[in-house]
């Protein structure tokens, strides 16, 4: 029987991420596994100074975004009561980066939340959980985070 040794918990900035972190961390504790928190920064905006020259102007918000994300992960660790939890910040396509990171760290399971959006929002915005599910070879634990009405 395979023992779970590492659990990757993918978080976004939604206020329901706290629930995802709590459930994933509880799972890790119950399995005596290492919990790893991951936040993916997707696509930095690019601006151009004119149509004719198309000179790319990089808006250097990435460093500020990384600092904010670090603070977010630190607050999450504090909330969970374990400052030693590994927190990772990666850049790229969200689903692809989650899958790539899971393989890099040899995760035994990926934990994600689903916002349970209305069908039209899901079509327009896409579903990161669905994208991960379609491509993963690693077990995926999905936590419904639909807000109470």
For residue 117, what pLDDT is reported?
Answer: 59
d(CA 41, CA 12): 9
| Parallel/antiparallel/unpaired status of strands 46-48 and 34-41 | unpaired
- The one-character DSSP state at 93 is -
pLDDT at 50 over 60: no
Kindly indicate the confidence band of residue 126, based on its pLDDT and cuts at 50, 70 and 90.
low
pLDDT by residue (tens digit) across 59-99? 456 777 888 899 999 999 999 999 999 999 998 889 999 99
Listed in sequence order, the DSSP H helices in 2-127 are 17-31, 62-80, 94-104, 119-125
Least confident of 48-57, 60-69, 106-115: 48-57
DSSP 136: -
Token output for 82: 């374990």
Question: Is the pTM higher than 0.75?
Answer: yes
Domains of the chain, each with CATH number or no CATH: 6-144 (3.40.50.620)
């Amino acid at each position: 029987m395979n023992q779970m040794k590492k659990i990757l918990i993918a978080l976004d900035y939604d206020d329901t991420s706290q629930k995802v972190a709590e459930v994933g961390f509880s799972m890790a504790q119950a399995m005596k596994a290492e919990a790893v928190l991951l936040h993916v920064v997707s696509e930095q905006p690019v601006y151009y100074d004119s149509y004719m020259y198309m000179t790319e102007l990089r808006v250097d918000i990435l460093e500020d975004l990384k600092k904010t994300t670090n603070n977010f992960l630190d607050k999450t660790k504090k909330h969970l009561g374990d400052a030693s939890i590994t927190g990772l910040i990666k850049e790229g396509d969200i689903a692809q980066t989650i899958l790539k990171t899971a393989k890099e760290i040899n995760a035994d399971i990926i934990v994600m939340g689903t916002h349970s959006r209305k069908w039209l929002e899901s079509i327009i915005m896409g579903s990161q959980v669905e994208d991960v599910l379609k491509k993963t070879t690693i077990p995926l634990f999905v936590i419904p985070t639909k807000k109470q009405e």
